[in-house]
C-alpha cells in the first residue's frame, strides 16, 4: 500500500489521502496522476480526473454520491460539491461463491467459558438486576449500593479521593495550590471479591416500560428477555412496580418463546404487592444473595470456538475506518464463520448503498427478502419523521472524511467481511444460525450494542477512528482503532491498533488474526477489555423509528 494515497477498489474514481497533502503537489498512483488544486487533509478524498455535475462518485466499488458542481482534477470531494446518492436494490440477482479463509491454526482450539444448560457458552458470569419500568430505577440503585462494596465488585474511586484532596486544600486556605495539585490514579485496592466465579452484578436501568406506546413496552420486554437469556448471564432479579405497560407476564412469555427450555434462576418482585419499599428491597437482596451462592459454583470449562457469537460495531468512525479497522474485524468475522461461530452485523442505516451486495450474499431468498423488507420499512419510517438515511453521518464523521451516508455505509459494511449471510433478524430476535447474521438496529452506537447483546452476542468488536467510550454491561467490548494517532492519544480505551494497515506494516488479514487471538483470551477471562476495566456499561433500548 502507498503510504500517501489509496484507491480502494479498481472501479473507484476518488482517491483517499493517507497523509496530509498540499496544494500544488503532483500525485501519482498506479499510472494515474494529477496536481492537487487545494490542500487534502488526511482521510479525505480527491479526484484525479475532473467530474462534471451529476457525475457519479464511486468508492469501494459502489455508488456513494453524485457531484453537484464541477470538481476539477486534483480537487477535493466534500459536502459542498457532493450529495448523497445510493444504488437501488432488488432480490438476489446472482449467487456469490465464498472461499473460506484458512483456519487450520485455530482448529481444535477452545476458550474457557461458562457452559449453560441450553448449550450456549458465556464468556463471563454475571447476575443482572433489571427494572420493568423507570419507576423502579431508584430501587435498583439502592440494591447496587447495598451489594457492590459488600461483595467486592466495586472499584475504589480515585476521582472521589481527588475531590477530597481538593476540599482539604480549600479548607486549609490553600486555594492557590488547587490548580497545581496533581491527580493520582493509584488508590488502595478495594475489598476482595466474595464470590470468585461471579464477574459482577450488573444493573440495567432505563427510561421505558410505561408512558410510551405499547409496542415500545413489548419491545423492551423482548430485549430484557434476550439479556436474561444471554449466555453471559447466570440469573436475574426483576423489579416491577405492577401497573406499568411492560408487565412481568409479557417478559416471561417472551423469555420462554425465545428459549422453551429456559432454566436460569429468577427473582421476581412487584412493589405494589410487596407493600413497603423496605420489604421489597430486603426480599430482593436476600433472595438474590441466596442465588449468588449457587451461581458461584459454576466454573469456566473448555468450549469450542463455534460457541462464540461476536457483535460487530463501529462508532466515532473516520475516513480510515473502512480501510483498516472495519475490514480487519471483517476478516475476523470470516475466520469465525469458517470455524462454525457466529457474528452479528447491525446498524441498518449504515448499510445504505451496499444492500445489493448483502442481498446477493444471503444463503436463500427468505433471508434476502427479509433484509429488503426491513431496510425499506426502516427507510420509510425515518423519512416519515423527516430524517432519511442521508442524515446519518455525524459532524465528526463528516469532519474526518465521511461526507455521505453511502460513503460511510460502504466502509461500515466491511465489518461483515465476505462470508455468506446466514440469517436476517429483526430487533430483539435471537441468533440461532452460525455464520454472519444481519440484525436490524439503529446506527446509534449504544442502541446497537445494546441490541446485539439482547440477540445473544457473548463478545463484541467495536471499531473507532475518533474514539468513543462505549461498553456493555454484560458483554466484553474490544475496541479497535483505525489509526495509530488515536491509539496513542486514547490508550485507556483502545485494545487493538489497526493503524499498521494504513502505514503498510501489517495486512488486514494479519490484524484480523490478531483480533481473533485476543477474543479467545478475553473470552477465557485471561485478559480484560479496556471497556470492562473502565466500567463502561452503556444500555439504551431502541424506541423504534426515532433513531438513526
SS3 content of the chain, % helix, strand, coil (to 5): 35, 20, 45
pLDDT tens sequence for the chain (548 residues): 567 999 999 999 999 999 999 999 999 998 889 999 999 999 999 999 999 999 999 999 999 999 999 999 999 999 999 999 989 999 898 887 899 999 999 999 999 999 999 999 999 999 999 999 999 999 999 999 999 989 989 877 788 889 999 999 999 999 999 999 998 877 666 678 899 999 999 999 999 999 888 899 999 999 999 999 999 999 999 999 999 999 999 999 999 999 999 999 999 999 999 999 999 999 999 999 999 999 999 999 999 999 999 999 999 999 999 999 999 999 999 999 999 999 999 999 999 999 999 999 999 999 999 999 999 999 888 888 777 776 667 787 888 778 888 899 999 999 999 999 999 999 999 999 999 999 999 999 999 999 999 999 999 999 999 999 999 999 999 999 999 999 999 999 999 999 999 999 999 999 999 999 999 999 999 999 999 999 999 999 998 766 76
Quote the pLDDT of residue 3: 75
Which H helix or E strand runs over 229?
helix 214-229
Buried b or exposed e, range 335-370, using 16+ CB within 10 angstroms: bbbbbebbbbbbbbbbbbbbbbbbbbbbbeeebbeb
Q: Structure pTM?
A: 0.94
Can you tell me the distance from the alpha carbon of 381 to that of 387, in angstroms, rounded to the nearest whole number? 9
Residue carrying the nine cell digits 433472595: 287
Q: Are the CB atoms for 480 and 515 separated by under 8 Å?
A: yes
**pLDDT value at residue 529:** 98
C-alpha cell recorded at residue 136: 423502579
Locus of grid cell 473507484: 12
355 and 376 Cβ atoms separated by less than 8 Å: no
Q: Count each helix (H run) and each strand (E run) in the chain, helices first.
A: 16, 23
Whole-number pLDDT of residue 381: 86
Residue pointed to by grid coordinates 462464540: 308
- Output the pLDDT for position 189: 66
Residue 91 CB neighbours (<10 A): 12
Residue 535 CA to residue 484 CA, distance in Å, equals 24
Amino acid at each position: 500500500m502507498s503510504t500517501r494515497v489509496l484507491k480502494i477498489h479498481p472501479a473507484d474514481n476518488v482517491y483517499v489521502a493517507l497523509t496530509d497533502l498540499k496544494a500544488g503537489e503532483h500525485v501519482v498512483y498506479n499510472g494515474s496522476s494529477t496536481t492537487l488544486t487545494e490542500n487534502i487533509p488526511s482521510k479525505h478524498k480527491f479526484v484525479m480526473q475532473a467530474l462534471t455535475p451529476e457525475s457519479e462518485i464511486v468508492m469501494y466499488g459502489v455508488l456513494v454520491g453524485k457531484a453537484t458542481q464541477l470538481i476539477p482534477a486534483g480537487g477535493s470531494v466534500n459536502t459542498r460539491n457532493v450529495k448523497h446518492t445510493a444504488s437501488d436494490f432488488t432480490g438476489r440477482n446472482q449467487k456469490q461463491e465464498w472461499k473460506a479463509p484458512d483456519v487450520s491454526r485455530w482448529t481444535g482450539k477452545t476458550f474457557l467459558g461458562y457452559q449453560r444448560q441450553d448449550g450456549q457458552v458465556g464468556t463471563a458470569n454475571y447476575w443482572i438486576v433489571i427494572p420493568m419500568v423507570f419507576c423502579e430505577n431508584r430501587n435498583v440503585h439502592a440494591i447496587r449500593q447495598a451489594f457492590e462494596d459488600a461483595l467486592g465488585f466495586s472499584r475504589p474511586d480515585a476521582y472521589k479521593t481527588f475531590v477530597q484532596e481538593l476540599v482539604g486544600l480549600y479548607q486549609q486556605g490553600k486555594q492557590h495550590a488547587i490548580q497545581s495539585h496533581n491527580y493520582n490514579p493509584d488508590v488502595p485496592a478495594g475489598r476482595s471479591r466474595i464470590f470468585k466465579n461471579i464477574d459482577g452484578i450488573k444493573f440495567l436501568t432505563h427510561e421505558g416500560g410505561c408512558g410510551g406506546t405499547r409496542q415500545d413496552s413489548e419491545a423492551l420486554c423482548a430485549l430484557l428477555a434476550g439479556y436474561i437469556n444471554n449466555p453471559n448471564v447466570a440469573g436475574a432479579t426483576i423489579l416491577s412496580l405492577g401497573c406499568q405497560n411492560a408487565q412481568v407476564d409479557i417478559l416471561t412469555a417472551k423469555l420462554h418463546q425465545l428459549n422453551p427450555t429456559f432454566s436460569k434462576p429468577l427473582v421476581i418482585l412487584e412493589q405494589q404487592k410487596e407493600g413497603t419499599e423496605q420489604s421489597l428491597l430486603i426480599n430482593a437482596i436476600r433472595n438474590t444473595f441466596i442465588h449468588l451462592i449457587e451461581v458461584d459454583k459454576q466454573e469456566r470449562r473448555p468450549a469450542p470456538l463455534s460457541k462464540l457469537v461476536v457483535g460487530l460495531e463501529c462508532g466515532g468512525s473516520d475516513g480510515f475506518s473502512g480501510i483498516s479497522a472495519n475490514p480487519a474485524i471483517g476478516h475476523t468475522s470470516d475466520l469465525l464463520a469458517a470455524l462454525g461461530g457466529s457474528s452479528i452485523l447491525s446498524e441498518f442505516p449504515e448499510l445504505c448503498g451496499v444492500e445489493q451486495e448483502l442481498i446477493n450474499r444471503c444463503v436463500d431468498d427468505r433471508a434476502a427478502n427479509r433484509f429488503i423488507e426491513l431496510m425499506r420499512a426502516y427507510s420509510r419510517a425515518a423519512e416519515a419523521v423527516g430524517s432519511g438515511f442521508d442524515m446519518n453521518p455525524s459532524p465528526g464523521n463528516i469532519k474526518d472524511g465521511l461526507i455521505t451516508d453511502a460513503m460511510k455505509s460502504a466502509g461500515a459494511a466491511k465489518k461483515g467481511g465476505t462470508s455468506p449471510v446466514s440469517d436476517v433478524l429483526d430487533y430483539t430476535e435471537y441468533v440461532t444460525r452460525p455464520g454472519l447474521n444481519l440484525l436490524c438496529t439503529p446506527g446509534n452506537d449504544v442502541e446497537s450494542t445494546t441490541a446485539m447483546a439482547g440477540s445473544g452476542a457473548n463478545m463484541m468488536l467495536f471499531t473507532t477512528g475518533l474514539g468513543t467510550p462505549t461498553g456493555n454491561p454484560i458483554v466484553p467490548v474490544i475496541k479497535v482503532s483505525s489509526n495509530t494517532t488515536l491509539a496513542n492519544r486514547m490508550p485507556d480505551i483502545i485494545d487493538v491498533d489497526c493503524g499498521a494497515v494504513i502505514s503498510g506494516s501489517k495486512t488486514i488479514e494479519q490484524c484480523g488474526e490478531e483480533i481473533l487471538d485476543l477474543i479467545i483470551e478475553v473470552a477465557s477471562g485471561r485478559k480484560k477489555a479496556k471497556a470492562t476495566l473502565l466500567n463502561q456499561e452503556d444500555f439504551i433500548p431502541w424506541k423504534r423509528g426515532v433513531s438513526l
